[in-house]
C-alpha cells in the first residue's frame, strides 16, 4: 500500500529535489510512477483536447436547447424548435403521398378499361406498380411473376379465376382461403378414403390429360366422372367460377407428374393467398391488378 | 495445471468438481430432455473430467514453496489457449454466415445450420469466447505485474476460467439447438446467465483481493480499465437478463422488460457491452502491452485520467442512439446523440495517447510485427470511435441504420481494434510465459499481420460500400413519387460486397489459424516459466 505521497520518496525521483527523470526523446519529465518498467510522462494537458471538449460540449448544449432533451419527471424539455418525431413522420409520409396523388388518385376508381387505355397515366404508374409487385408479391410469385411449386404463375395467360383486372383485384383484396370474410374459397378435398389402386389409376389419367382427351369407358374415366368432373368439368377443362383449375392446359401449380397428382388426390390441396385489403390501399391494389393483367398480356405478345 | 496446486488446493478443486457434477446431474434429471438436459450433461462431463485430472494427481508431490514468490501464470496460459480456440470457432462461424449471405443454398436443410442459429454462435463466440477469454487471461497477467503481487489464491482463477468457458459453451450450443432469449449479445438462457453471475462475482473478488495486496503505491491505468470492465459488465448483464423462467426445468424464459423499455434496456446493455467489454477492457490491454513492447513511457498521464473518466461517464448514456426514429421518446434519442458526440474527445484522447507513446519507437513499429499489431489497433480504435459518434447523429443514422454500414462499423472495431490488440498482446505474452526470447516463427507473425490488415480492409471497405448503397437505394424516389427500387433490388446489389466480405473474413481467419499454430509451437518448445517475479515475498496462505 502507498507508503508516502512525498514526491521525493516516489520511485524515479531525485531523493533531494523530488525532480523526476526526464525522457530523452520528448524532453518531458516522468510522473515518477513505475510499474516494472512502465512509466508515464507528465505531459501538460494538450490545448487541442480542451478545445475539442469545449466544442463538443457547445454542440450538445445548443442541441439540448433546440431539441427535446432532458426529462423533467412526467414531462421533458421540449426544445425551441418544438419538434415532435411522430408529427414529423406523419408529415413526411403525407408529403410523399401528396407527390403521388396526381396520378395515384385515378386508380381509386375501378373503371379498369378506361385506365388501361390512358397510356400517359399507365406510363407514369407502371414503374411504381413494378416495385409494388416486387415488394409485396414477388416473394411467392417470383420477381417476373414466374411462380414456383405451390405458387401460381402469373405471366402465362392461364387463370383459375379469370385474368380480368376486376377479378385479379378481388383476389388481391380478399385473398384465397384467407382469413378475410369475403375471401375466395377453393379446396381440393382429400380422397384418402379411396382405394389406393383407384387413386393411382386416377393419377395416371390426370397426368395424361394434357396429352389428349380421356378414353371413355375405362374404369379410370368412370372414377373421374364420378369424383372429379363436378368441379374440373367432364373433360377436365376446369371452371373459372369455382377456382377449379383446368387439368388439360399444361399449366400447373403443384405439378402434373403422376406422383404429385397422387399426392394431391390423397391429401387434397388448400393453398392460401393472403388478403391485402389491410396492407395496401385500394389504389395500390387496383394498380397491381392492372400490372398483373398486363404481365400475362406481355408474355402472350412475346409468345406470338 | 495440477502441478501448480498444493494438495489441499487439489482437494478443494476436487470438491468443487463434484459439486459441478451434482449441478449437471440435477439439471439433466430435472429437465429430462431438451436443451437444459443437454447442458446438464455438459456440466457433468466437465466435472467428471476435472475429477479425473485432479483425482489422478491428488497424491503427487506438493509444488515447491517458492511458488509463492512467483507470479501465477498457468491460468493465463490456459486462457490464451481458450482465446485461440474460440477465435477459430467464432471466426470460422463468421466466415460461414458471411458465405451464407452470398450463397444462401450453402445451408444444409437441417434446423441447426439455419442462419438465425449460426449468427449468434459467431457473435457470442467472438465477443465472449475470444474477447472475454483474452481479457480474463491478460487481466491476470497485467494485474500481477502492475501490482507486483501474486494472484490472491490459486483456485478462483481456475473457477473463473473454466466456469466462464462453460457459460460460453452452454450459450453457443443452446443457440444451435434453438434456445435463445432473442436479446442481441445476450441470447443465453436464464440458468446460463445465473451461472455467469457467480463466475463474474468470483472474478471481481479475485481482482480486488489481488489489487489490495499490491506492492506498488499507485494503481496502474490498465487496472482502472480492467476493473471498469468487470464491474460494469456485471451490472449490464444482471439488469438486461432479468427474466422469469417459464419452468425451473426448461431453457425458456420471458424478460421482465417489455415494449420500448425492453428495447432501451437492451441497447443500454448492447452498447455498453461494446463500451466496457470491447473497449474498456481492451484499452487496459493496450495501456499495458503497448508501453511494454515499445519500451516507451505512456505519453501523458493526465490524458489517461481524462480519457478514462470521459469514457466511463459518457458511454453509459449513448445506448439510445441505437433506437433513433423509433418509439423511444425523442428526448432520449437526443441525449444518446449528444453524449455520443462528446464521447469522441476522450476516445480520441486515448487513441492519440497510444500513438504518441510510440514517439521514439517508430523504428520498432517498422521492424516488429507484434508492435505493429498494437499500432494498427490504436489507429482502428480512433477510426471506429469517430465513425461511431458520426453514425449516432440522427440524420446520418437515418441513412446508415439497418444497413450493412453498421456491420462494417462493428467489424472495423472488432477486427481492426479488438482482435489486433489481442494478437499484439498474445505475441508479447506467449514467448514470455514460455521463457523464450521470441515466438517459434517470427515470419508467421508477419504473415498473420498482413493477412489480418488486408482482410480487415477488404471487409470494412466492402461493408461501407454495401451500407451506403443500401441506404441510398432505400430512400430513392423517382420523379412520380414512387420508390425507385424494390427491396429485393437492394439485396441483389449486395452480391459483390457480400462476396468480398467473405473473402476478407476468410483472410482474417487464416491469420488467426496461423497465430494459433504459432502459439502452440511456442508453448510446446517452452524453456521454462516467465523470468520475472514479484520483488516482495508473498504471505503464506
Q: Please check whether residue A64 lies inside any domain of the structure.
A: yes
CATH classification of the domain holding B147: 1.20.210.10
Asked if B146 has any chain A CB less than 8 Å from its own CB, the reply is: yes
- The verdict on ipTM greater than 0.85 is yes
Q: Does one domain contain both A181 and A279?
A: yes
Q: Is residue B529 part of a domain?
A: no
d(CA A170, CA B40): 56
Q: In terms of domains, do B370 and B228 share one?
A: yes
Strand partners, B300: A42
What does the buried/exposed string (b/e) look like for B477-512 if buried means 16 or more CB atoms within 10 Å of the residue's CB? Answer: eeeebbbbbbbeebeeebeebbbbbbbbbbbbbbbb
Element (H, E) at B254: strand B253-255
Q: Are B85 and B143 in contact (CB under 8 A)?
A: no
State chain B's maximal CA–CA distance in angstroms. 86
Q: How many Cα atoms are found within 13 Å in the side-chain-facing hemisphere of A179?
A: 1
Handedness of CA B242, B247, B252, B257 (dihedral sign): negative
> Of the candidates B284, B10, B305, which has an alpha carbon nearest to the alpha carbon of residue B141?
B284
Backbone angles phi, psi at A94, to 5 degrees: -65, -40
Domain final residue, candidates B10, B29, B60: B60
d(CA A73, CA B110): 52
- Is residue A18 over pLDDT 70? no
User: Which residues, 6+ apart, have CB-to-CB distance to A2 below 8 Å?
Assistant: B217, B218
Q: Is residue B534 part of a domain?
A: no
pLDDT of residue A32: 81
Q: Enumerate the residues of chain B whose CB falls inside 8 A of the CB of residue A105.
A: none
Interface of B with A in 76-95 (CB under 8 A): none
Cell of B379: 489507429
User: Is there a contact between A69 and A247 (Cβ–Cβ < 8 Å)?
Assistant: no
Residue A256 corresponds to which cell in the numbers above? Answer: 402434373
A17 in any annotated domain: no
**Nearest Cα residue to A224 out of A237, A241, A239:** A237
Using DSSP bridges, classify how beta strands A75-76 and A71-72 pair: parallel, antiparallel or unpaired: antiparallel
pLDDT of residue B83: 98
- Indicate whether B46 belongs to any domain: yes
Considering the domain architecture, whether residues A254 and A288 belong to the same structural domain is answered as no
Residues B456 and B315 in one domain: yes
A148-182 confidence digits (pLDDT tens): 888 999 998 888 888 899 999 999 999 999 999 99
Tell me, yes or no, if B48 comes closer than 8 A to chain A by beta carbon. no
> A20 pairs with which residues across the strands?
A13
Element (H, E) at B356: helix B330-357
Residue contact A143–B348, C-beta within 8 A: no
The Cα B146–Cα A242 span in angstroms is 84
pLDDT at A15: 65
Kindly give, in sequence order, each residue whose CB lies less than 8 Å from that of residue B192, ignoring residues fewer than 6 positions away: B39, B167, B170, B171, B174
Q: Are residues A136 and A174 in the same domain?
A: yes
Same domain? B181 vs B110 = yes
Q: Residue B155: phi, psi to the nearest 5?
A: -90, -45
| pLDDT of A3 | 53
CA distance between the termini of chain A: 94
Q: Do B112 and B7 belong to one domain?
A: no
Q: DSSP string of B68-83?
A: GGS---HHHHHHHHHH
> What CATH code is carried by the domain that includes residue A255?
1.10.760.10
Cβ contacts of A99 on chain B, cutoff 8 Å: 477, 480-481
Count of alpha carbons within 13 angstroms of residue B486, beta-carbon side? 18
Same domain, B359 and B389: yes
Give me the number of domains chain A comprises.
Answer: 3
Per the structure, how many domains does chain B have? 2
Q: What is the pLDDT of residues A129-139, one digit of tens each?
A: 999 999 999 99
C-alpha A221 chain-centroid distance = 45
Return the residue matching grid coordinates 447442458: B39
Distance from CA of A211 to the nearest CA of B (A): 36
Name the DSSP letter for residue B276: I
Phi, psi of A75 (to 5 degrees): -125, -170
Chain A residues with CB-CB distance to B331 below 8 A? 67-71, 76-77
- CA A258 from centroid of its chain's CA atoms: 35
Angle formed by the axes of helices B420-433 and B281-294, to 10°? 60
> B451 in a domain, yes or no?
yes
DSSP chain A: ------GGGSTTB-TTT--BPBPTTT-PBB-S--BTTB-BBBPPPPHHHHHHHHHHHHHHHHHHHHS---EETTEE---TT---HHHHHHHHHHHHHHHHHHHHGGGGS--HHHHHH-HHHHHHHHHHHHHHHHHHTHHHH-TTS--BTTB--SSSS--SS-SSHHHHHHHHHH-BS-SSTT-B---B---TTS-HHHHHHHHHHHHHGGGSPPPTTSHHHHHHHHHTHHHH-TTS--BTTTTBPPSSSS--SS--SHHHHHHHHHH-B---B---TTTS-HHHHHHHHHHHHHHHHHHHHHH-
Q: Quick one: DSSP state of residue B102?
A: H
Q: Do A109 and A154 belong to one domain?
A: yes
The pLDDT assigned to B539 comes to 53
Q: What is the pLDDT of residue B541?
A: 46
Nearest-by-CA chain A residue for B210: A1
A165 and A293 in a single domain? The answer is yes
For residues A284 and A164, membership in a common domain is answered with yes
Domain that holds residue B51: 1-60
Residues A107 and A155 in one domain: yes
- Tell me what the mean pLDDT of segment A67-74 comes to: 95
Q: Are residues A108 and A179 in the same domain?
A: yes
Task: Tell whether the model's pLDDT for residue A5 goes beyond 80.
Answer: no
Query: Is the CB of A41 less than 8 angstroms away from the CB of B349?
Result: no
**Unique residue bearing C-alpha cell 458526440:** B341
Distance of alpha carbon B308 from alpha carbon A11, whole angstroms? 24
| Residues B149 and B10 reside in one and the same domain | no
Please give chain B's pLDDT, 541 residues, in tens.
Answer: 788 899 999 999 999 999 999 999 999 999 999 999 999 999 999 999 999 999 999 989 998 888 888 899 999 999 999 999 999 999 999 999 999 999 988 878 799 999 999 999 999 999 999 999 999 999 999 999 999 999 999 999 999 999 999 999 999 999 999 999 999 999 999 999 999 999 999 999 999 999 999 998 899 999 999 999 999 999 999 999 999 999 999 999 999 999 999 999 999 999 999 999 999 999 999 999 999 999 999 999 999 999 999 999 999 999 999 999 999 999 999 999 999 999 999 999 999 999 999 999 999 999 999 999 999 999 999 999 999 999 999 999 999 999 999 999 999 999 999 999 999 999 999 999 999 999 999 999 999 999 999 999 999 999 999 999 999 999 999 988 899 999 999 999 999 999 999 999 999 999 999 999 999 999 999 888 777 776 555 554 4
Q: Which residues of A touch B213 (CB under 8 A)?
A: none
Give the closest of B220, B360, B483 to A38, CB-based.
B220
Instruction: Count CA within 13 A, CB hemisphere, residue B259.
Output: 4
In this structure, the answer to whether residues A116 and A255 fall within a common structural domain is no
Domain assignment present for residue A8? The answer is no
With an 8 Å Cβ cutoff, are B360 and A38 in contact? no
Which candidate, B318, B359, B427, B315, places its Cα nearest to that of B80?
B427
Enumerate the residues of chain B whose CB falls inside 8 A of the CB of residue A103. 480
Q: Chain B, 310-339: which have a CB under 8 Å from a chain A CB?
A: 325, 329-335, 337-339
- Angle at B230 (CA atoms; ends B357, B356), nearest 5 degrees: 5
Longest pairwise C-alpha distance within chain A: 123
Amino acid at each position: 500500500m502507498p507508503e508516502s505521497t512525498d514526491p521525493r520518496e516516489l520511485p524515479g525521483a531525485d531523493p533531494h529535489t523530488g525532480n523526476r527523470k526526464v525522457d530523452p526523446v520528448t524532453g518531458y519529465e516522468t510522473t515518477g510512477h513505475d510499474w516494472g518498467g512502465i512509466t508515464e510522462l507528465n505531459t501538460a494537458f494538450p490545448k487541442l483536447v480542451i478545445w475539442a471538449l469545449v466544442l463538443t460540449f457547445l454542440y450538445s448544449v445548443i442541441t439540448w436547447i433546440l431539441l427535446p432533451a432532458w426529462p423533467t419527471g412526467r414531462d421533458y424539455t421540449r426544445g425551441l424548435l418544438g419538434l415532435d418525431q411522430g408529427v414529423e413522420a406523419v408529415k413526411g409520409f403525407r408529403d410523399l403521398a401528396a407527390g403521388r396523388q396526381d396520378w395515384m388518385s385515378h386508380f381509386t376508381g375501378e373503371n379498369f378499361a378506361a385506365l388501361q387505355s390512358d397510356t400517359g397515366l399507365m406510363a407514369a404508374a407502371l414503374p411504381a406498380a413494378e416495385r409494388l409487385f416486387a415488394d409485396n408479391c414477388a416473394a411467392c410469385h417470383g420477381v417476373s411473376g414466374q411462380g414456383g411449386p405451390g405458387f401460381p404463375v402469373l405471366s402465362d395467360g392461364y387463370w383459375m379465376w379469370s385474368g380480368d383486372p376486376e377479378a385479379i383485384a378481388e383476389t388481391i383484396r380478399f385473398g384465397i382461403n384467407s382469413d378475410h370474410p369475403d375471401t375466395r374459397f377453393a379446396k381440393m378435398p382429400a380422397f384418402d378414403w379411396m382405394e389406393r389402386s383407384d387413386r393411382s389409376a386416377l393419377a395416371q389419367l390426370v397426368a395424361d390429360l394434357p396429352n389428349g382427351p380421356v378414353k371413355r369407358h375405362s374404369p379410370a374415366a368412370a372414377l373421374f366422372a364420378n369424383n372429379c368432373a363436378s368441379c374440373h368439368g367432364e373433360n377436365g377443362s376446369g371452371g373459372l367460377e369455382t377456382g377449379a383449375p383446368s387439368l388439360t392446359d399444361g399449366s400447373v401449380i403443384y405439378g402434373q407428374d403422376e406422383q404429385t397428382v397422387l399426392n394431391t388426390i390423397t391429401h387434397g390441396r388448400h393453398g392460401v393467398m393472403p388478403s391485402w385489403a389491410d396492407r395496401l390501399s385500394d389504389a395500390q391494389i387496383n394498380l397491381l391488378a392492372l400490372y398483373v393483367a398486363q404481365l400475362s398480356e406481355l408474355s402472350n405478345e412475346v409468345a406470338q | 495445471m495440477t502441478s501448480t496446486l498444493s494438495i489441499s488446493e487439489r482437494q478443494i478443486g476436487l470438491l468443487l468438481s463434484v459439486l459441478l457434477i451434482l449441478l449437471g446431474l440435477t439439471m439433466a434429471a430435472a429437465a429430462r430432455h431438451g436443451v437444459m438436459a443437454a447442458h446438464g450433461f455438459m456440466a457433468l462431463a466437465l466435472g467428471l473430467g476435472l475429477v479425473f485430472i485432479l483425482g489422478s494427481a491428488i497424491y503427487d508431490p506438493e509444488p515447491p514453496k517458492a511458488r509463492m514468490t512467483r507470479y501465477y501464470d498457468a491460468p493465463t496460459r490456459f486462457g490464451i489457449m481458450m482465446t485461440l480456440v474460440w477465435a477459430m470457432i467464432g471466426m470460422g462461424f463468421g466466415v460461414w454466415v458471411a458465405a451464407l449471405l452470398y450463397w444462401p443454398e450453402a445451408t444444409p436443410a437441417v434446423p441447426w445450420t439455419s442462419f438465425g442459429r449460426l449468427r449468434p454462435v459467431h457473435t457470442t463466440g467472438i465477443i465472449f469466447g475470444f474477447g472475454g477469454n483474452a481479457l480474463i487471461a491478460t487481466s491476470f497477467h497485467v494485474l500481477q505485474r502492475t501490482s507486483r503481487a501474486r494472484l490472491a489464491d490459486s483456485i478462483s482463477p481456475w473457477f473463473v476460467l473454466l466456469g466462464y468457458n462453460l457459460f460460453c459453451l452452454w450459450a453457443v450450443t443452446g443457440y444451435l439447438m434453438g434456445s435463445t432469449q432473442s436479446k442481441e449479445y445476450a441470447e443465453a438462457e436464464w440458468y446460463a446467465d445465473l451461472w455467469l453471475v457467480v463466475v463474474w462475482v468470483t472474478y471481481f473478488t479475485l481482482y480486488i483481493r489481488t489489487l489490495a495486496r499490491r506492492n506498488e503505491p499507485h494503481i496502474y491505468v490498465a487496472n482502472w480499465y480492467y476493473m471498469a470492465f468487470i464491474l460494469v459488465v456485471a451490472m449490464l448483464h444482471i439488469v438486461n437478463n432479468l427474466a422469469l423462467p417459464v419452468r425451473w426445468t426448461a431453457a425458456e424464459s420471458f424478460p421482465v422488460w417489455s415494449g420500448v423499455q425492453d428495447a432501451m434496456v437492451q441497447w443500454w446493455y448492447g452498447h455498453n457491452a461494446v463500451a466496457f467489454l470491447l473497449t474498456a477492457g481492451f484499452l487496459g490491454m493496450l495501456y499495458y502491452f503497448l508501453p511494454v513492447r515499445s519500451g516507451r513511457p505512456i505519453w501523458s498521464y493526465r490524458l489517461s485520467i481524462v480519457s478514462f473518466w470521459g469514457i466511463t461517464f459518457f458511454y453509459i448514456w449513448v445506448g439510445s442512439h441505437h433506437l433513433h426514429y423509433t418509439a423511444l421518446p425523442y428526448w432520449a434519442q437526443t441525449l444518446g446523440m449528444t453524449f455520443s458526440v462528446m464521447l469522441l474527445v476522450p476516445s480520441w484522447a486515448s487513441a492519440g495517447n497510444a500513438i504518441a507513446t510510440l514517439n521514439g519507437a517508430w523504428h520498432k513499429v517498422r521492424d516488429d510485427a507484434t508492435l505493429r499489431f498494437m499500432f494498427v489497433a490504436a489507429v482502428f480504435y480512433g477510426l471506429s470511435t469517430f465513425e461511431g459518434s458520426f453514425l449516432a447523429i440522427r440524420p446520418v443514422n437515418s441513412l446508415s441504420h439497418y444497413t450493412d454500414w453498421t456491420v462494417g462499423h462493428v467489424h472495423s472495431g472488432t477486427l481492426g481494434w479488438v482482435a489486433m490488440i489481442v494478437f499484439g498482446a498474445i505475441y508479447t505474452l506467449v514467448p514470455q510465459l514460455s521463457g523464450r526470447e521470441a515466438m517459434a516463427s517470427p515470419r508467421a507473425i508477419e504473415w498473420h499481420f498482413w493477412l489480418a490488415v488486408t482482410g480487415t480492409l477488404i471487409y470494412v471497405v466492402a461493408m461501407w460500400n454495401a451500407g451506403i448503397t443500401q441506404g441510398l437505394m432505400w430512400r430513392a424516389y423517382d420523379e412520380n413519387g414512387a420508390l425507385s427500387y424494390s427491396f429485393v433490388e437492394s439485396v441483389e446489389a449486395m452480391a459483390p460486397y457480400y462476396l468480398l466480405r467473405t473473402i476478407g473474413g476468410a483472410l482474417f481467419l487464416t491469420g488467426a489459424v496461423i497465430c494459433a499454430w504459432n502459439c502452440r509451437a511456442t508453448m510446446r518448445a517452452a524453456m521454462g516459466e516467465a523470468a520475472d517475479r514479484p520483488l516482495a515475498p508473498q504471505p503464506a496462505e
